[in-house]
Chains A and B, each alone.
Chain A
Amino acid sequence: QQQVKQSPQSLIVQKGGISIINCAYENTAFDYFPWYQQFPGKGPALLIAIRPDVSEKKEGRFTISFNKSAKQFSLHIMDSQPGDSATYFCAATSYNTDKLIFGTGTRLQVFP
């Protein structure tokens, strides 16, 4: 019940295309869903996050879509660029815990 399932494991997108990464969870107590971006040789960095009181959050080219009834959330990268090539992790947590539960990661490659 603590798992966060992430798909796909890897993704190849043409420059200018839309990248979509999906995550699903079981624990209905989760109430905060961040996404992390990790470049090779670096630590993960917080990219964008959403709370379940909204269905969508947008920051620049990055959008989180959230479906509370389906217990799913996804990251959309519009106009994908080669500089977006990285590994992306979704995560989930709840207010009364000190821990983040991470998905297994998606390696995104954007080709020019």
Chain B
Amino acid sequence: DAGITQSPRHKVTETGTPVTLRCHQTENHRYMYWYRQDPGHGLRLIHYSYGVKDTDKGEVSDGYSVSRSKTEDFLLTLESATSSQTSVYFCAIKGTDSYNEQFFGPGTRLTVL
């Protein structure tokens, strides 16, 4: 998994509660990404980061925020979880190749009841 860990790996929470997912990398990559994976939709980009404190929105950013205070950690926060945010969340890093080769973490399965 290219030195990427995600925590927690599984989480069940209730509607309206805040949730933070963590992505940690050990190889000092500049770019980090958060995706969600849902049946029939493939992988959709939520937010990404191109450096410490530098982030940008993806195609499904509503209801999510991110933070990156150090190179190795990229946090995804659901301020008030909803059932529509039940999904599998993947973190990815961009490799050092000039093209967008991305390498994924093991994923976090989030269930919002």
Pick from A13-21, A57-65, A69-77, A90-98 the stretch touching chain B.
Answer: A90-98
Q: Say yes or no: A93 contacts B42, CB within 8 Å.
A: no
Instruction: For the complex formed, measure the closest distance between the CB of B76 and the CB atoms of chain A, giving whole angstroms.
Output: 15
Query: For B1, what are the chain A residues with a Cβ–Cβ distance below 8 Å?
Result: 43
Q: Say yes or no: A43 contacts B104, CB within 8 Å.
A: yes
Interface size (B, Cβ < 8 Å)? 25
Size class of the contact patch on chain A? 20 to 34
Q: Say yes or no: B42 contacts A46, CB within 8 Å.
A: no
B-facing residues in A41-89 (Cβ within 8 Å): 41-46, 49, 51, 89
- Tell me which of B40, B94, B102, B107 contacts A42 (CB under 8 A): B107
CA distance A95 to B98 in the complex (A): 7
Query: For B62, what are the chain A residues with a Cβ–Cβ distance below 8 Å?
Result: none
Binary contact track B1-28/A, C-beta < 8 Å → 1, others 0? 1001000000000000000000000000
Given A98-B50, A99-B48, A99-B58, answer yes or no on A44-B43 (Cβ-Cβ < 8 Å). Answer: yes
Given A43-B90, A99-B48, answer yes or no on A34-B40 (Cβ-Cβ < 8 Å). Answer: no
Q: Say yes or no: A43 contacts B42, CB within 8 Å.
A: no
A22 at the interface (CB under 8 A from B): no
CA distance A31 to B103 in the complex (A): 19
Most buried by B among A49, A98, A102, A104: A98
CA distance A95 to B100 in the complex (A): 8
Q: Say yes or no: A99 contacts B45, CB within 8 Å.
A: yes
Residues of B within 8 A of A (CB): 1, 4, 31, 40-45, 48, 50, 58, 90, 92, 94, 98-107
Residues of A within 8 A of B (CB): 6, 9, 31-32, 34, 36, 41-46, 49, 51, 89, 93, 95, 97-100, 102-105
Query: Which 7 pairs across A and B sit closest by C-beta, in order of nearness?
Result: A43-B104, A104-B42, A93-B100, A32-B99, A102-B43, A102-B42, A105-B42
